[in-house]
Chains A and B, each alone.
Chain A
Amino acid sequence: MSAPPVSEIRNYTMNFGPQHPAAHGVLRLVLEMDGEVIRKADPHIGLLHRGTEKLAESKPFNQSIGYMDRLDYVSMMCNEHAYVLAIERLLGIEPPLRAQYIRVMFDEITRLLNHLMWLGAHGLDIGAMTVFLLCFKEREELMDVYEAVSGTRMHATYYRPGGVYRDLPDTMPKYQASRWRSPKQAARLNEVRSGSMLDFLAAFTAAFPARVDDYETLLTDNRIWKQRTVNIGVVSPERALQLGFSGPMLRGSGIAWDLRKKQPYEVYEHMDFDIPVGVNGDCYDRYLVRVAEMRQANRIVRQCVDWLRAHPGPVMVDDRKVRPPRRERMKDDMEALIHHFKFFTEGYEVPEGETYAAVEAPKGEFGIYLISDGANKPYRLKCRAPSFPHLAALEEMCRGHMLADVVAMIGTQDIVFGEIDR
């Protein structure tokens, strides 16, 4: 009698995505599996490639601000920030102080938006449904702030070279009673919305730390959460530097590097906040870093609200080159009308030169490398997207892990295809 035949075990290739709910957009991942274990992972990207950089080369400078929102579409204003910073450096202008505070405040609101989205989606990916619903509730409040200031909930196009588009509004959008919302409910929701935008934000920042406590109650000591994240996707600090990591991915590996502290732009040097740093460089540490960052971002928003309440002033530099004329002047001033026409058709010329402007976006270092040849359009625009090198390291992080950990790894990298594919 012979031994029972041993079934033949061999590696096989598996296709993950591009339309997988855990692929965070359109990631196609070709996995070479040995049973449940990943031997090779080859990300295929570019399914969302729109040629943003080439499109920007064919348009006047100001017309590309809106494209920047659509790069990393969950941290919109930070992308705009890097772009307008690059233009401002070439033009040699500096926005007024109030505009700088507004920008810092909205950068941090954007960080909250991004981290809330990340926490919800990452939790959902690896099996925590509740936190997703909680995060999106807070996210909705912050999107109302976006709406109040720019008219849109996501793609704001609010920053301009030389300042911001307009000053903070005195009113907030309000809920209306409907079939699903009784007048009483609407009135309760509108209670915090009765004042100005800054009043609303003050109330939000006062309440938000308790919300973060809620998320932490659900996750931080959760046994399943820890089983899915602790010691998964460990990146040593040396490798993190080699692989070009930035943001929470770098800080999770224990390197205290934050552009807001180390190379401060705008008014970050006047802000009081801490840089959270991880120890082990695994998914759990990166989770802790991001949650701590939410608390710090909340602190910064709070400080900005206090300053902005006390210091009214201009929000746009008084430079006719980058600032359109006032609407009232256009009605009875021919020169103002011509100025307006030229400004919105031809745009303005930026002096010849090149610059690299980087901001600490929620995902890491978002940089804009801008070359101008003295024309009204950029000669070359290169967006340095933080997720791009992160995703490039996916294979190294995944190798030897189980298939289910790939989802945790994609989640912890906080990738968004708008900026990877550009």
Chain B
Amino acid sequence: MSELIEALALKVDAALAGSVARRAPLAHELGYETEAATLLTVCRTLRDAPELKFEMLMDVAGVDYLHYGRDEWQTQSATHSGFSRGRVARLDVPDPLAAGRFAVVYQLLSISHNQRLRLVVKCPDSAEPVIDSVVDIWASANWFEREAFDLFGILFRGHPDLRRILTDYGFIGHPFRKDFPLSGNVEVQYDPDKQRVVYQPVSIVPRVLVPKVIRHDHRYEPALKDPQADR
């Protein structure tokens, strides 16, 4: 499997030298990262170059990297305060405008060569994430990009019909951003006086049931690997 991946990687490097950088995912998958400025040319080459021929776009996913790698767990305070949840609300709020917060991930599939490739593009501006639309290259991008716009607020330049798709008519905010609360901001209720459904601020108190914990496991991190263990 990995020989096939390396063979494909050579072809991609030959066709797109300089405009893509290889990501380091798993052994049986291939991922590349490119700049927003070169996205359209890279995508065209990936679709049209005879040795690549990625004629299908299977998925477009928006990603918000705001809380990446931040846990909310402190072991010491948990033992001090008895049976607390051991969860610490971190005071250092990450900067929502830090560069590289939003990314768009494209999953490509080549039917003719039976291979897959993942393309990642980071949005250059986090305040107003804008990226070129690939609808003209793959028609299936239409709804996928609408979804990424709806849920993450990523704008796609050149999209023919960039409307909200999954959220309610007149919804405010982009719910899959990490700084959007899980319980939302508004709830609806039937008002018997007005005889219609009304919006009001949400009454649920947000609560974390299981804190996010990051542990460094010696089995997965080479630096922590016990040299004796493999014998």
Contacts and interface: CB of A to CB of B under 8 A. Distances in A.
B175 A51 contact: yes
A78 B4 CA distance: 27
Contacts, number: 125
Contacts of B140: 242-244, 389, 392
Interface stretch (A297-305, A370-378, A404-412): A370-378
B205 to A, nearest CB: 15
B95 interface: no
B202 interface: no
A19 interface: no
Given A46-B168, A257-B111, A346-B210, A53 B143 contact: no
B interface, size bucket: 35 or more
A367 B58 CA distance: 9
B58 A353 contact: no
Interface in A205-248: 239, 241-244, 246
Contacts of A375: 71, 212-214
Contacts of A46: 164-168
A15 interface: no
Interface string A340-380: 00000111010111111010000001010101011111011
Contact of A349 (B26, B142, B215): B215
Contacts of B28: 89
B35 interface: no
Interface stretch (B10-18, B61-69, B124-132, B192-200): B61-69
Interface stretch (A55-63, A268-276, A277-285, A329-337): A55-63
A255 B111 contact: yes
A45 interface: yes
B105 interface: yes
B31 interface: yes
Contacts of B212: 375-377
Contacts of B116: 263, 356
Interface in A63-81: none
A153 interface: no
Interface string B213-229: 11111001100000000
A353 B209 CA distance: 24
A92 B28 CA distance: 11
A54 to B, nearest CB: 6
Contacts of B59: 356, 367, 369, 382, 384
A392 B105 contact: no
Given A241-B111, A382-B59, A384-B58, A373 B165 contact: no
B61 A380 contact: yes
Contacts of A204: none
A243 B139 contact: yes
A49 interface: yes
A309 to B, nearest CB: 31
A388 interface: yes
Tell which of A59, A349, A375, A377 has the most Cβ of chain B within 10 Å.
A375
A51 B182 CA distance: 9
A327 interface: no
Interface in B25-60: 25-26, 28-29, 31, 55-59
A33 B23 CA distance: 49
A355 B213 contact: no
Interface of B: 25-26, 28-29, 31, 55-59, 61, 63-64, 67-69, 71, 105, 107, 111, 114, 116, 118, 138-140, 142-144, 147, 164-168, 175-176, 182, 208-210, 212-217, 220-221
12 contacts: A45-B165, A242-B139, A244-B57, A263-B116, A356-B29, A356-B116, A373-B214, A374-B215, A376-B210, A377-B212, A382-B105, A422-B166
Nearest 10 A-B pairs (CB), nearest first? A244-B140, A351-B220, A46-B166, A382-B61, A392-B143, A384-B59, A242-B139, A49-B166, A374-B214, A389-B140
